[in-house]
Amino acid sequence: MRCHWRHRCACRRGDYYVCPKKLSIEDLVESMSLPIACSLTNSELQERRRGVLNAVLSAVVEVKELEDGYAYSFLPRSERLTELAQLIDLERQCCPFLRFRLTIEPANGPIWLEMTGPEGTKEFLATTFT
């Protein structure tokens, strides 16, 4: 029997069952097709910019363009890591389409924040996070 994901398993077409054999979490997120938009109002976005967003953006050391977003480099400071965690927590709530990857390089190397997502994310980031 073939499931609605076109795999051979016990699920039936129309079930809400997701075949765990073939569908990764990345596939599941991509299939949700979230809109590329922030749910904050203009005034809420301006408040965010005055707070944590400005602090983080002013500390960016390097920006790398990625296929589906950007990577931002920061000096390896504890307070920066705290600010980045706060930014990720805030942004994931108002921009649910964003994917975050925080990398802390060994030997006191830089901290990297990658922000990526589906098509249109790079353009959104270019206008929002500059």
Give yes or no: residues 27 and 54 share one domain: no
Tell if the pTM clears 0.75, that is, is over it. Answer: no
Query: Is residue 50 a contact partner of residue 93, using CB atoms and an 8 Å limit?
Result: no
> How many domains does one find in the chain?
2
Give yes or no: residues 56 and 78 share one domain: yes
pLDDT in tens, 2-34: 444 444 455 544 444 445 445 455 554 554 566
Domain that holds residue 75: 42-128
Q: What is the pLDDT of residue 3?
A: 46
Give yes or no: residues 80 and 119 share one domain: yes
Examine residue 37 and state whether it is found in any structural domain, yes or no.
no
Give yes or no: residues 65 and 124 share one domain: yes
DSSP classification of residue 2: B
Please compute the mean of the pLDDT values over residues 45-49 and round it to a whole number: 66
Examine residue 107 and state whether it is found in any structural domain, yes or no.
yes
What is the sign, positive or negative, of the torsion defined by CA atoms of 86, 89, 91, 97? Answer: positive
- Residue from 112, 88, 85, 109 nearest 99 by CA: 88
Give yes or no: residues 73 and 23 share one domain: no
Q: How far is CA 24 from CA 30, 31, 36, 71, 79, in A?
A: 10, 11, 22, 23, 34
Examine residue 79 and state whether it is found in any structural domain, yes or no.
yes
Residue 39 burial (CB count, 10 A) = 11
Give yes or no: residues 7 and 28 share one domain: yes
Examine residue 116 and state whether it is found in any structural domain, yes or no.
yes
